[in-house]
Amino acid sequence: MADADLVELAKRRGFFFGSNGAYGGTAGFYTFGPQGAALKRNVEDAWRDRFTLQEGNREIEAPTVMPEAVFEASGHLDTFDDMLVECAECGSSHRADHLVEAVTDIEDAEALPGEEVEELIADNDIACPTCGAELAGLDVEDFNLMFATDIGPGDGQPGYLRPETAQGIFVEFPRLKEYARGNLPFGITQIGPAYRNEISPRGGLLRLREFTQAELEQFIDPEADEPPLDRVRDVDVRLYPATEQQAEDGDYLDTTIGEAVEEGVIGSPWVGYYLGVAQEWYERIGVDTNRFRFRQHLAGERAHYAADCWDAESEVDGDWIEIAGFAYRGDYDLSKHDAYGDDSFTVFKRYDEPKTVERATVDPDMSVLGPEFGGDAAAVAEALETLAGRDPDAFEGDTVTVEVDGSGGDDAREVAVDAEVANFSVETVTENGEHITPHVVEPSFGVGRTVQTLLAHAYETDEVDGEERTYLSLAPEVAPRDAAVFPLVTNDDRLVALADRVAADLRAAGLAVAHDDSGSIGRRYRRQDEVGTPFCVTVDRDGIEGDGPETVTVRERDSAAQIRVPVDDLAEELAGLRAGGSFDDLLDRYETVETDVETE
Amino acid sequence: MADADLVELAKRRGFFFGSNGAYGGTAGFYTFGPQGAALKRNVEDAWRDRFTLQEGNREIEAPTVMPEAVFEASGHLDTFDDMLVECAECGSSHRADHLVEAVTDIEDAEALPGEEVEELIADNDIACPTCGAELAGLDVEDFNLMFATDIGPGDGQPGYLRPETAQGIFVEFPRLKEYARGNLPFGITQIGPAYRNEISPRGGLLRLREFTQAELEQFIDPEADEPPLDRVRDVDVRLYPATEQQAEDGDYLDTTIGEAVEEGVIGSPWVGYYLGVAQEWYERIGVDTNRFRFRQHLAGERAHYAADCWDAESEVDGDWIEIAGFAYRGDYDLSKHDAYGDDSFTVFKRYDEPKTVERATVDPDMSVLGPEFGGDAAAVAEALETLAGRDPDAFEGDTVTVEVDGSGGDDAREVAVDAEVANFSVETVTENGEHITPHVVEPSFGVGRTVQTLLAHAYETDEVDGEERTYLSLAPEVAPRDAAVFPLVTNDDRLVALADRVAADLRAAGLAVAHDDSGSIGRRYRRQDEVGTPFCVTVDRDGIEGDGPETVTVRERDSAAQIRVPVDDLAEELAGLRAGGSFDDLLDRYETVETDVETE
């Protein structure tokens, strides 16, 4: 399938389209139409079911606007930049690293210093893609990708639209750990908008300025907690390890999660566990496993805090796109907020048995230190205390030497203190536990990219009754609608009334139902095929005439096979199919209908 | 219940709390914890079921960041302001109108001109609420409540966080009408964040800077479309009409939707229809109807485009708060975007029969007008065309007089044209229909305020087994968790294993399940009572010993009554209860358990 076909179908049938078309469009922003919003929501619900409910995790919902202090701590304020070059002629903005990559062999120009990129632009005579003017000699600037705003008037504070939902979780860790009653491991999830003010947004649902993330932050004690790896040990996965990517004849590694973790291909068992859960989940919602892989980040690609990182990638229109990331983030996030914030981002880890430990301490005689060091006396006492913890042996001689910053901005200097004045001693104390900073394992999913993958992998064409058709073979669990209901003809009030009643009954049973009475049945089937509706229910005369119970025909989308089902059983059967039941079972249990009804 | 108790419980039990506490907090932003996010999502799902699925409407999802042009058209850029006064001493910001209302009898100071508010501040010696400094003499400014940002770098454009989800619907009307195949009426819904940069945010979930709206835009042909009023004709409602609010002994009007519409108390049948739907929905999700009313806007309160507007109001902690608005917005929104945007915001309304109409037209002889009027000739021809449409009789004399703006900025002047030169004629044309601008009926719900109402109305205290307890009597459909599962004791591996299996089975059946094995059963019950979990499942020895099938006890939250249910029936019974089933039915069908198990 060509990408253009899918984009056209997405727009025509209400999956997604560029926003604000009446005002010339706004690059990087897409609106999900009725079909797309339903598909996206079903993907989110399926994710919630698997990654929150089934795992016993907790989901929160934090604001999208956050104050600057959060991003000072997280590092986004300083480092969440792309390389920007603005054309002096036409004023258009471009990713400088992408321009360089397009005309050189360099694969990761973002890793180069700005000056080097400026030189490469000059050396390669790179021109503005918009107007063709020379870009040589222009500055390459760091452009921060966060959308900035002001919270409150006048005395307000700078704020930013969050670049990832994760920060809304990390920043509330002091409270979230209370809800877990201080026990590790626990997982917090969030599904919601995130924002990146991209310099050059791409088309479709790739690289949007506003997008939806589904993130899980798994907080663990790295020394004690292990994932329930048995649950996914036998899950088959296609891995693309860093070593294979760098090898000349590198290839995929088709293996199981259990083997990959045992052999160290996947470094962290927690990352391995979530790769397995994700593999099963992607299969469940309809990703084509032949167009799917887990690719390990190369060393240079990883954020500096990420010990091991894998991306889930899907093939869409010939390109591999990242649709999720699985990172072992260590204690980076919580340590930063612990250092910058006013609250504690640690948990108290109780020992199995209380430990008796020796602790060196001092109790300096201030009546001596005061007269001797004046304004520096307190600093000297503190330095002694620090030294006692670090090097108790230092107190064995007659005098102890410590370094203090002088008061009033004087330079640091060494001072000698009489050992007796320090009052050094070693106490025996009983400790019940210690404060530890949990580590974080983060599966992070792009919802829009998942939606785009599902559409691309579900897009099919075939021939039915001699006519070519396009259909989306979406899994019933995620299809925008569960069923469509048609009266075969609209000039028979009995059919119209029954179709209305059937649609209302299905809706009351919680199913998302379309009702369509416009055009031939064949056209109505095609319309539903194009939006991936798995089952079409047609109310015809055969179903209401005769002595038996009222019946309707149910047509399965992919096979175009039809069966006749009593109206009273319909809601339950469709609910069963939505929950993963097989249409083949119904083919066995109900009368099959010849498909020439289509041409009526 | 005092508000403080609920706020404390909300924070302690994970419903909601002020965001970014580790960074001093950020006024106007709240985070929903695990319980609150689940409750909020259940409210959204229930709203979606009623206002989207059951109504056959379509839901979309538009970006939260929108370009400036949208808000020029909508009027938000010019008029979405509050009155701001900034203290010269301490720099704190205040709503000037609120300060005036607090010390005078004025009820709607926002309607006064800024100068008058400045005078009232001076005349009443109003001081800064923060530092006590005099505010007299300071400017009262219009502060726009939209959060502003920049989309893209350098050559980017100004953007704003949407102040209502509605604009994301209106602006895409040209495409949305295609999905409805041009047929009115149709409804579009959206649930998502909206933003108002409040000058002085209030506490709790009232007046937040970021909040969630659930909005329905019902597009109708005002001359042809009628709502299905029969469906809600007999719904009982408590109305507080504008006349009663203004009368000295004004009282509520307890009536039905049918009567209120027939007697004209509710001006628009469409508004009446949605008040009826909303009344039933609020009852379904657990709003206390004795603490609920529909209040009509007073004439001065209505937006200028709203013909009739009602608020749903709930009583929370002694105050009536607006939790939804129902406005007949006429063609205001679509007309504005039609005028400002580059696309058509009308629909083509086909006549039942083609109409033959006479249309007056002119075909001016430019070879005469050209020499005579030079640069103004085209303007003269256009004026003749306009005149023909407006007043065909004007062409009956020998000459026709029209007014034209002079070219080159000259003043408008009258010119006389020979009637023959105008070539006036009346043509007979057949028209199949006309372009009309749909009217909009908008039910708009505040999701956070609904959540706050449900918590306030569900908050109960009583005595169980001689102990006082606090519980939330939330409806099973919206309660954060469907059930909690406990092993009675943790030192019996059989109980622990069965509890794990029961929890996993319930989760696999799509239920949200808590698992708790910490502390006495009584304490675990209390914990679940406080978060409104409707059913607690306890795995005890009686249930696994003996010959019969495995059983567990199920305790209903409000009555604390307990029954013994086979494990194999549990998922289905709990799903039935969640869908609205009655626990009394189960009391009839299953063995009752004495409640002294609580004290074990």
Q: Which of B36, B54, B154 is facing A507, going by the closest CB pair?
A: B54
**What is the distance between the alpha carbons of residues A445 and A324, in angstroms, rounded to a whole number?**
4
Residues with Cβ within 8 Å of B247's Cβ and at least 6 positions away in sequence, in order, are none
Taking an 8 Å cut-off on Cβ atoms, the answer to whether A64 and B199 are in contact is no
Tell me which H or E stretch contains A34.
helix A34-47
The identity of residue A417, as a single letter, is V
Rounded distance, CA A550 to CA A546, Å? 9
- What pLDDT is stored for residue A3 in this prediction? 75
Regions in chain A scoring below 70 on pLDDT: 1-2, 155, 302-306, 406-410, 595-600
Which of A28, A36, A149 is nearest residue B149 as measured by Cβ atoms?
A: A149
Partner-chain contact B37 A61, CB within 8 Å: yes
Distance CA A124, CA B296 (A): 69
Contact A39/A474 with Cβ under 8 angstroms? yes
pLDDT at B597: 46
Q: Which spans in A172-268 are helix H?
A: 173-179, 242-246, 257-262
Chain A positions touching B508 (Cβ under 8 A) are 54
Half-sphere exposure of A411 (CA within 13 A, CB side): 2
Q: How far is B293 from chain A (nearest CA, A)?
A: 27
Q: Which domains does chain A have, with CATH numbers?
A: 3-80+145-332 (3.30.930.10), 81-144 (3.30.40.230), 351-433 (no CATH), 481-599 (3.40.50.800)
pLDDT at B359: 85
Q: Per the CB < 8 Å rule, is B31 touching A63?
A: yes
- Going through B177-318 in order, the beta strands assigned E by DSSP cover 186-195, 210-220, 236-240, 253-256, 292-296, 309-316
Judge whether residue B112 has pLDDT over 70: yes
Which residue does chain B place closest to A142, by CA atoms? B153
Share of chain B above pLDDT 90, in %: 74
pLDDT for the residue numbered A597: 46
**How many alpha carbons lie under 13 Å from residue B344 in its C-beta half-sphere?**
9
Chain A residues within 8 A of B62 when measuring between CB atoms = 19, 31-32
Sign of CA dihedral A457, A35, A45, B166: positive
Please tell me the distance in Å from A512's CA to the nearest CA on chain B. Answer: 6
Q: What is the ipTM of this complex?
A: 0.90
Task: Determine, for residues A195 and B65 on separate chains, whether the beta-carbon distance falls below 8 Å.
Answer: yes
Q: Who among A84, A149, A341 is closest to B153 (CB)?
A: A84
- On chain B, the residues whose CB falls within 8 A of the CB of A34 are 58-60, 179, 188
Of the partner residues A93, A181, A510, the one whose CB lies closest to the CB of residue B155 = A93
Residues of chain A contacting B61 with CB distance shorter than 8 Å: 31-32, 36-37, 40-41
| Cβ <8 Å between B342 and A150 | no
Residue A599 pLDDT = 43
Q: How does the average pLDDT of chain B come out, rounded?
A: 92
How far is Cα B169 from Cα B336, in angstroms, rounded to an integer?
14
Least confident segment among A403-412, B129-138, B506-515: A403-412
Cis check for the bond before A371: say yes or no (omega within 30 of 0). no
* pLDDT tens digit sequence for B242-252: 999 999 888 99
Rounded Cα distance, B100 and B91, in Å? 19
Where is A82: in which H helix or E strand?
strand A81-86
CB contact under 8 A, A33 and B175: yes
Between A and B, how many CB-CB pairs are < 8 A?
264
In this structure, what are the phi and psi dihedrals at residue B594, rounded to the nearest 5 degrees?
Answer: -65, 140
Subunit contact A23:B69, Cβ cutoff 8 A: yes
Minimal Cβ distance to A179: which of B30, B34, B154: B34
Number of other residues whose CB lies within 10 A of the CB of residue A109: 19
Q: For the purposes of burial, counting CB atoms within 10 Å of the CB of A110, is it exposed (0-12), middle (13-18) or buried (19 or more)? A: middle
Confidence of residue B238 (pLDDT cuts 50, 70, 90): very high
Tokens of B280: 């039933």
Cβ contact, residue pair B181, A518, below 8 Å: yes
Task: Read off the pLDDT band of B397 (50, 70, 90).
Answer: confident
| B57-108 residue pLDDT tens | 999 999 999 999 999 999 999 999 999 999 999 888 999 999 999 999 988 8
- Strands of the sheet with B535-539, listed across from one edge: B513-515, B483-487, B535-539, B551-556, B562-566, B591-593
8 Å CB contact of B86 and A512: no
Judged by CB atoms closer than 8 Å, whether chains meet at A147 and B148 is answered as no
Cβ–Cβ under 8 Å, residues B199 and B141? no
Interchain CB distance below 8 Å, A29 and B86: no
Q: Hey, what are A51's tokens?
A: 């990654």
Residues of A in contact with B167 (CB under 8 A): none
- Residue B598: the pLDDT is 45
And the tokens for A459?
Answer: 């897009």
Are the C-beta atoms of residues B35 and B15 closer than 8 Å to each other?
yes
Q: Which residues of B fall within a CB distance of 8 Å from A343?
A: 21-22
- The mean pLDDT of B520-541, rounded to a whole number, is 95
The confidence score (pLDDT) of residue A304 equals 58
Give the model's pLDDT for residue A600: 41
Interface test with A, best of B45, B51, B60 (most A CBs within 10 A): B60
Strands A551-556 and A535-539: antiparallel
Q: How many CB atoms lie within 10 A of CB B582?
A: 10
